[in-house]
Amino acid sequence: MSRAGDEAWAELRRAAASRDTADFAALAEASDADSRDLIDCLAPVAGAGPRFAIGQIGQSLDGRICTESGDSHYVNGEAALTHLHRLRSLVDCVLVGVGTAIADAPQLTVRRVEGRDPVRVVLDPSGRAALDRSPFAAGPDQAETWHLVGRDALEASEPAAAHVRRLPVPVGPAGVDPRDVLELLAAEGCGRVLIEGGATTLSHFVAAGALDRLHVLVAPLLIGSGRAGLTLPPVARLREALRPPMRRFTLGEDVLFDISLSAD
């Protein structure tokens, strides 16, 4: 990112703190072309209200997020990774499913840009996450981490590290309702949420109509096999498929589709 881009990011963070839409408009008018794209792309996130949910997924041209062996480092390029860290900085918490926590041991912190770390949340209804791996492992200066566990699993859970807080999540016959998760997080002070993965967790949130926006980052490669990205309930006819409003941005060699899923 150029110096102008770094300055635009700093100004965007300041505007986000004020939540004043006029600040975003003034920023866009005063910036160079690259900085305007950054501001235009992230303004809907930075300027969103206290209740907001966005999903993010990176995939290949043929809609794959990893190879058959699970290798995904990295599907997307440097600019897309920087974008992800900006998204983390603009929300209250970042959530991943337990499968991602087990497979990747993600840090879920903000390291590639200036900004604060969000609360890290792992959705783990059965309580099967490994407590000796990130983000649960004990260590110095660990970011706050919430472990969302079903009540039955919560009673049988082993003690967690000091930076980990366990919260009971409702589990029904069909599993966890994404809307219940967002309500729980908001009640605990995290109303602005990034659903970062994995594909199954993100698909559930999209299918439940629980997201306001979705960022799909498409990389210029063909994997040809491996795990697909979004998997939604089948439709019989194309006219039943989702066709939400979207915008397109270039991030290095990747293309970002900024998709509006809000009812309004």
Query: Could you report the per-residue pLDDT of 54-110, keeping only the tens digit for each?
Result: 999 999 999 999 999 989 988 999 999 999 999 999 999 999 999 999 999 999 999
The per-residue pLDDT for 35 is: 86
CA 168, 153, 95, 257 dihedral sign is negative
C-alpha of 14 from chain center: 21
Q: What is the pLDDT of residue 3?
A: 59
- Give yes or no for a contact between 226 and 187, defined as CB atoms under 8 angstroms apart: no
pLDDT on residue 27:
75
Distances in Å between the Cα of 150 and the Cα atoms of 16, 123, 128, 185, 201 are: 34, 9, 11, 15, 16
What local confidence, expressed as pLDDT, does residue 262 receive? Answer: 87
Q: Residue 115 region, left (φ>0) first, then alpha (ψ -120 to 50), else beta?
A: left
Tokens 């919260």 label which residue?
167
Q: So what's the pLDDT on residue 73?
A: 87
Number of Cβ within a 10 Å radius of residue 177: 16
Q: Can you tell me which residue has the tokens 């603009």?
A: 90
- Going by C-beta distance under 8 Å and a sequence separation of 6 or more, which residues neighbour residue 140? none
User: Could you identify the residue written with the tokens 């058959």?
Assistant: 68
One domain, residues 115 and 79: yes
The separation between CA 29 and the C-alpha centre of its own chain, rounded to angstroms, equals 28
Out of 12, 32, 47, a domain closes at 47
| pTM for the predicted model, two decimal places | 0.95
Q: Say yes or no: 2 and 72 in one domain.
A: no
Tell me: do 34 and 60 sit in the same domain. no
Are residues 64 and 138 part of one domain? yes
Q: Are residues 208 and 249 in the same domain?
A: yes
The amino acid sitting at 257 is F
- 204 shares its domain with 135: yes
The answer on 109 and 210 residing in a single domain is yes
Q: Which residue range(s) make up the domain with 111? A: 51-260
Give the total number of structural domains in the chain.
Answer: 2
pLDDT recorded at residue 33:
82
CATH number, position 205: 3.40.430.10
Say if residue 131 is in the same domain as residue 249.
Answer: yes
Where would I find the beta strands (DSSP E) of 130-207?
A: 145-149, 164-168, 192-197
Q: Let me know whether 157 and 98 are in one domain.
A: yes
Q: Are residues 74 and 176 in the same domain?
A: yes
Asked if residue 106 and residue 161 are part of one domain, the reply reads yes
Cα 244 from chain centroid? 19
Determine the Cα–Cα distance for residues 150 and 152; give it in Å rounded to an integer. 6
140/38 same-domain check: no
Kindly give the parts of the chain with pLDDT less than 50: 1, 264
